[in-house]
Structure 1
């Protein structure tokens, strides 16, 4: 059997408090394989970012504390998102992690970036209490799963 070397892991993070578990699990997987780590966040729905229900994630509480209703432009949102990914990178204590912020449909953007960087695996979380049901019914994770040509590592994050 050939030894297949996984060289790049793309970890998709949203602003759900479970992102910390997804980041840590994906990072551990990548380090076990000796792979490069990429963190991605896709900006897809402006309303999502104006919610005041956020909890601090990996030490980044700015979205809940500042109130994103003050962020009006796409560039402002990208800058805040980059800060979030930088805080996530700091949380994982690894300066070699690369971060990517893109706009668009979440599933398509994740797949496009995975292809662009030649990722060997995509790590995503599933927030549903019945995560397998959610995957089978429909979600970003489900859409990535059905369209991906590379392995998908799903981290169940139910409470």
Structure 2
């Protein structure tokens, strides 16, 4: 059997507290394969950023927002978040990308344009009704790509 070589791993992160687990799993895979890492954050609608999370890898969230932020502010903050992740992982060679658009579409476009060999994403488990009503980014990516995907389950065990 021929060895599979992975040169580049795309890790898609949001501001959910589970981002640390996803980043660390993806980074560990990259290091074990001697692959380069690309961190991606897809900008969401401004209203989604009003949610306050606990600090994630040194990123404190959007605690000081008075109103809906503009796209320039969101982009700058997202790059700051990804820099914190880079520092947390301890690898200055990590590439950071921030894009705007539909989560699944942007993740796939970035995977193809960066020539990623694998995509690492988290699966935010939802209740059954929410799963029916809300389109799942993970399911769309699985359906629309031939790039291998590592899905990191992030649901807390009861």
TM-score by length of 1: 0.89
Task: Within 5 Å, give how 1:6-155 maps onto structure 2.
Answer: 6-51=6-51, 53-63=52-62, 65-67=63-65, 69-70=66-67, 72-128=69-125, 138-155=135-152
Deviating runs (4+, > 4 A) in structure 1?
Answer: none
Shift of 1:76: 1.1
Shift of 1:44: 2.5
Distance, in Å, in 2 between the alignment partners of 1:10 and 1:103 is 16
Long gaps (5+) in structure 1: none
Long gaps (5+) in structure 2: none
Distance, in Å, in 2 between the alignment partners of 1:6 and 1:138 is 30
Judged with a 3 Å threshold, the aligned counterparts in structure 2 of structure 1 residues 30 and 138 are, in CA distance, closer, same or farther, namely: same
> Across the two proteins, how many residue pairs are aligned to each other?
154
Q: Please report the RMSD computed on the Cα atoms of aligned residues, expressed in angstroms.
A: 2.1
TM-score by length of 2: 0.89
